Amino acid sequence: MVAASAPGKLILFGEHAVVFGEPALSVAIDLRTRVDAASAQTATVNGRPLTRQEFPYLEAGIRHHGFPDPLSITISSSIPKAAGMGSSAALTVSLLACLQALRGSMNMESIARTGFEVELDVQGRASPIDTTTSTQGGGILLLKERSDGFLWRIERGDRAWNLHSCSLPEMILVVGNTGIEAPTGPLVAGVQKLAEARAEARKAIGRIGRITLEGLSALSSGDLELAGRLMEENHVLLNSLGVGHPLLDDFVEASRPYSYGAKLTGAGGGGSMICLTDRPEPVVRAIEDRGGRAFIVSTESRGVAVDEQG
């Protein structure tokens, strides 16, 4: 048997603009998904038959890895689902680490690459930000060009991403989840349409790219106030691209008295916002008072890891 775990993630800056080749910054968080896997007569997950319909990421993970034997899989996770916190990437990456470990090897780059293929297979559209962050841990920067901290380059069709590891200070973030699930594909398509039609939208996308780099440098130098102001500006720009939601604005406003700054995170249209703070409890109360679910998380440097092998 083998057990592996991997962290969830949050996008700090640059979502949507990254689809146009602009930089984006994400960070692993201290919530993990663990997968236990052992040889078995039939393939099961938490005691249920492993079907594509019920467990699409596990089915695709096993298929893309090419693992031939049935496994009894147990999942345990502290990452909320469908909240923009990377729960599916953490599940996929933990599974792939188990499959590699069962064959006596472990290669981070190949986990990140296969993980991306799995997300593409199941979701139809994805960038490699979630799976690389869950594999590598810490801060992950996507850039058009190759730079310091380069990890790997992932290409798909006419799109290519250079993924880098970057050091970030420990931070406390509060996630405010609206409970509204909005699929990423149509939101990305909406931004594409707006960018084709309007020069202001293209300008906003370019500005988000610059905010990402300014945000990284503010965080790296410990200037949380500047980082917070940049988050607020990024939020306004995302709203101008049509991916906001009134509840996200409510949560951002409610958290403001106790925070450096806040913004929507991930695809938007509902989903979640994040708030950078050193007073997480009042932020949680403010978000919950407005009907949201709130989670306090910290940054995590540990990526995917084999926890047990026997």
Kindly state the DSSP code that residue 172 receives in the 8-state scheme.
E
Closer CB to ligand PMV, 17 or 50, in the complex: 17
Neighbours of 110 (CB within 10 A): 15
Between the alpha carbon of residue 177 and those of residues 33, 148, 245, 254, 263, the distances in Å are: 19, 34, 12, 13, 12
Closest CA to 85 of 294, 272, 275, 288: 272
> Cα 39 to the chain's mean position, in Å?
30
Closer CB to ligand PMV, 171 or 205, in the complex: 205
Among 8, 16, 36, 111, which residue sits at the site for ligand PMV (rule: CB under 6 A)? Answer: 16
Closest distance of CB 164 from ligand PMV, Å: 16
Closer CB to ligand PMV, 31 or 50, in the complex: 31
Pick the stretch among 32-40, 53-61, 73-81, 125-133 that binds ligand PMV (CB under 6 A).
125-133
Closest CA to 127 of 242, 14, 275, 34: 14
Pick the stretch among 14-22, 199-207, 273-281, 282-290 that binds ligand PMV (CB under 6 A).
14-22
- List the interface residues with ligand PMV, window 155-184 (CB under 6 A): 184
Catalytic residue flag (residue 130): yes
- List the interface residues with ligand PMV, window 51-110 (CB under 6 A): 84
Tokens at 149, concatenated: 């901290």
Among 3, 18, 50, 216, which residue sits at the site for ligand PMV (rule: CB under 6 A)? Answer: 18
DSSP3 helix / strand / coil % (the chain, rounded to 5): 40, 30, 30
Closer CB to ligand PMV, 130 or 300, in the complex: 130
Q: Is 19 in the site for ligand PMV (CB under 6 A)?
A: yes
Report the alpha-carbon distance of residue 91 to residue 8 in Å, rounded.
9
Q: Give catalytic residue positions.
A: 130
Name the site residues for ligand PMV (rule: CB under 6 A). Answer: 11, 15-16, 18-19, 84, 126-127, 129-130, 184, 188, 266-267
